[in-house]
Amino acid sequence: MTDTRGTIIGDRSPMPDTAGTLYCVGLGPGDPDLMTVKSRRLLSTAKIVSYFHKRGKRGNARTIADGLYSDTALELPMEYPITTEALVESSTYQNALTSFYDDKAHDLAERLRAGDDIIVLCEGDPFFYGSFMHLYLRLRETHNIEVVPGVTGMSGSWTNSGHPITYGDDIMSVLPGTLPEDVLALRLGQCDAAVIMKIGRNMAKVRRALTSAGLAARSIYVERGTMTDEVIIPLSEKATDTAPYFSMILVPGQGRRL
Ligand SMILES: C[S@@+](CC[C@H](N)C(=O)[O-])C[C@H]1O[C@@H](n2cnc3c(N)ncnc32)[C@H](O)[C@@H]1O
């Protein structure tokens, strides 16, 4: 049961000195060499490792961390109860996810109270559209938590694209591709540079919004940026409107060049 700020009601007792720490390590955009020294160090001594994943998939965070912690570490996978089966705005989706995060926060809290340190894996940076944030809001007032930032997926992607994203006074917008088409087109029309996340099944809609904002010609499509099977091409060369979840579109700014 959570209050409106996401804090677990009735779970506010201070942690004893022997309590464990919940670490969330940002793993960077995919290439393990782009992980921070701190995340690597924490992983190298991890005894309990937890990560989010979709049903039937290992999850990108787990894949990035492969081989970076001991085989003897206890793994606590957190399988999303629902992903694309219901609309994000629907009560079905929201109730399922709220219960899921409540349950996972409760399970982790029990282990922390028992003195265990736990590492949660997060692709990119945990505080940038990361699922961990929902556990963080539930546990931050009552448990020891340390979050290690990471290189974001967009940062790895624009670097590998070879196109600097903002020049001079460019204003950059980060837009989820899940937004309605008219909102995307409006926002795209107001910015100098843009990153559109969560492409997946939104590809056709995003392409139309970019076209109506006059930005399609300079857009770059990135699939699984910095990973071994990375694809980076001009959007105009992408023939189909199918895209995986780990894809984004970059619109580099055209500001002051000196
Ligand atoms: C839930 S958000 C997680 C963002 C992540 N915490 C970060 O810092 O980049 C997932 C979205 O990030 C984008 N993304 C993250 N990493 C990516 C990568 N390496 N290549 C392409 N897109 C990526 C995709 O648009 C994907 O749908």
The CATH number of domain 154-251 is 3.30.950.10: yes
Q: Ligand 1 mean position to 175 CA, how many Å?
A: 12
Which 3-state string (H, E, C) describes 121-155?
A: EECECCCCCCCHHHHHHHHCCCCEEEEECCCCHHH
Nearest ligand 1 atom, CA 150: 8
Contact 164, 252 (CB under 8 A): yes
Q: Which of 128, 206, 248, 249 to mutate to test the pocket of ligand 1 (most atoms within 8 A of CB)?
A: 248
Task: State whether the beta carbon of 247 lies less than 6 angstroms from ligand 1.
Answer: yes
pTM: 0.92
Rg (CA), the chain: 20
> Which residue has the CA at smallest separation from atom 15 of ligand 1?
153
In the reported structure, the alpha carbon of residue 154 is separated from the centroid of ligand 1 by a whole-number distance in angstroms of 7
Mean of per-residue pLDDT scores for the chain? 93
- The answer, yes or no, to whether any atom of ligand 1 lies below 6 A from the CB of 149, is no
> pLDDT of 218-258, one tens digit each?
999 999 999 999 999 999 999 999 999 999 999 999 999 99
Q: Which two tokens stand for residue 250?
A: 């970059």
Determine how many CB atoms are found less than 10 A away from the CB of residue 160. 17
Q: How far apart are CA 28 and CA 253, in angstroms?
A: 23
| Tens-place pLDDT, residues 121-148 | 999 999 999 999 999 999 999 999 999 9
Residue 165 makes CB contacts below 8 A (sequence gap 6+) with 154, 158, 172, 193, 195, 250, 252, 253
Q: Does domain 21-151 have CATH number 3.40.50.2300?
A: no
Sign, CA torsion 87/26/224/76: negative
Degrees, nearest 5: CA angle 154-158-164: 130
Domain boundaries, the chain: 21-151, 154-251
Order across the sheet with 247-251: list the strands. Answer: 172-176, 193-197, 247-251, 220-223, 231-234
